[in-house]
Amino acid sequence: MTTREQHLAQAKANKAFYEELLDRPEYHDWALTVLFYAALHYVDAFLYPSDPPDHSTRNKLISRSPTLRSLYRKYRRLQDRSQDARYECYDPTREELVKARQECYDVIESAILPHVTS
């Protein structure tokens, strides 16, 4: 089982990788995917010790949590756009990536961090 600390470390590493990919237009699809997975690891850190085995289970747990429920639309937006990038060849612009970070990821991170760090 992954620990809360491991989820937090992975979220930070994914965000740093996202930042590196921002200036690499050929990898903007992956930047979006990495940003979604950074958010996912913050969610998993919050849900710890639950260890959702898949996206469907995780989404159900999010919908049941009063804290996470308010973040669900932003989380799903990142998830859906990440899937679009991977399966539909959606190629976001740098501006779209920054907007996704500001409007979705940053909100998720700032809402969850106070609950998972001491």
Query: What confidence category does residue 10 fall into, taking pLDDT thresholds of 50, 70 and 90?
Result: very high
Q: Does position 118 have pLDDT exceeding 80, yes or no?
A: no
As a whole number of angstroms, the distance between CA 85 and CA 93 comes to 11
**What is the tally of structural domains in the chain?**
1
Nearest of 110, 116, 91, 105 to residue 17 by alpha carbon: 105
Q: What is the pLDDT of residue 9?
A: 98
Using alpha carbons only, what angle is made at residue 92 by residues 72 and 53, rounded to the nearest 5 degrees? 40
Query: 14 lies in which domain range?
Result: 4-116
Cβ distance 85 to 34 under 8 Å?
no
Cβ distance 45 to 112 under 8 Å?
yes
% residues pLDDT > 70 (the chain): 100
Nearest of 112, 115, 3, 8 to residue 50 by alpha carbon: 3
| Summary mean pLDDT of the chain | 97
pLDDT digits (tens, 9 = 90+) for 23-58: 999 999 999 999 999 999 999 999 999 999 999 999
The CATH number given to whatever domain includes residue 73 is 1.20.120.330
Q: What is the pLDDT of residue 1?
A: 87
